Amino acid sequence: MNLSSDPAVSSAASGAIRSPWHDFIHTFLANPVALVSGGFILLLVLVAVFAPWLAPWDPMTPDWMALSAPLSTAHWMGTDDLGRDVMSRIIYGARISLYIGVLSVTLGMLAGVALGLLAGYYGRWVDMLIMRGSDVLFAFPGMLLAIAVVAILGPGLNNVIIAVAVFSVPVFARIVRASTLALKQTAYVEAVRCAGAPDRIVLLRHILPGTLSNVIVYFTMRIGTSILTAAGLSFIGLGPEPDVPEWGNILAMSRNMMMAGLWHVSVFPGLAIFVTVLAFNLLGDALRDALDPKLET
């Protein structure tokens, strides 16, 4: 009997060479929501990188002949009350908003992952101290905590990044702590510890990789939340300087124009924030489906 012609043997042989990376790519590419959201985010990144070449006008230079101008061939999204091109300011705003979102979440992730590993691995007073500190931060709504941090440090781009990073730390710490508590009880981690490996090796080589799937999913979703929070801080005057072309600043500058019927100055930056946050949330859901083997059908 030719075993190579047996469907069961062929299926087993083909399954033996499949890797987790192959399964992730296959599941991710089979999800149309993942492709659409990922494609939009990739396009947004390209727009941010090539903003100086894509923007039709200088975002800081006013057109004195087109103050508060509606949509036209010269200004596709109109101008604000100072004659600055709205489309150019939104394009440059993508660069600033992505910078705030990615950098703030990265800082919060690094601090949260480190604290979560220590709390879950060592337990006892270390766990109690870190988790009670997280509970204190959880007691504040995220936006209120960010406002408090900016009120202490003062408005500005760097302080907004710090404020958004602070309220990201406790969630990352909770996620990593839960994964660490489960992973440190596994047989392979117990074997490594019994072999005399130092705690640093156990944490970084054997526990940390097992927490990355949850961290990646939440990291992606948190970028959208951070962009929205930064825009909210800018809208109430606690963000970067008012002339900086950031999406929240553009919305704040358009408040008076909305009452005059000039809808375009507020609608387009609002849509940019809405679609970007939605894309990051959908991409996070798609990554969760692709990275979690328990959800595989």
Which range is least confidently modeled, 14-18, 98-102, 114-118, 134-138? 14-18
**Per-residue confidence (pLDDT) for residue 259, from 0 to 100:** 67
Pick the more confident residue, 163 or 20. Answer: 163
Most confident of 67-71, 74-78, 201-205, 232-236: 232-236
Question: What does CATH list as the number for 21-53+75-295?
Answer: 1.10.3720.10
DSSP 110: H
- C-alpha 244/C-alpha 60 separation (Å) is 8
Q: What is the mean pLDDT of the chain?
A: 83
Sign of the four-CA dihedral 195, 199, 205, 207: positive
Instruction: Kindly give, in sequence order, each residue whose CB lies less than 8 Å from that of residue 15, ignoring residues fewer than 6 positions away.
Output: none
What's the average model confidence in pLDDT over 73-77? 80
Give the single-character DSSP code of 149: H
Q: How far apart are CA 162 and CA 146, in angstroms?
A: 9
> Could you tell me if 143 and 160 are in contact, meaning their C-beta atoms sit under 8 angstroms apart?
no
| Confidence at residue 294, expressed as pLDDT on a 0 to 100 scale | 54
Q: Which of 172, 182, 170, 162 is nearest to 218 (CA)?
A: 172
What is the pLDDT, as a whole number, of residue 238? 85
Query: Which pLDDT tens digit goes with each residue over 218-275?
Result: 899 899 989 999 888 888 888 888 788 889 888 888 777 776 667 778 888 889 999 9
Kindly tell me if the per-residue pLDDT of 280 is higher than 60. Answer: yes
What is the rounded distance in angstroms from the CA atom of residue 132 to the CA atom of residue 69?
54
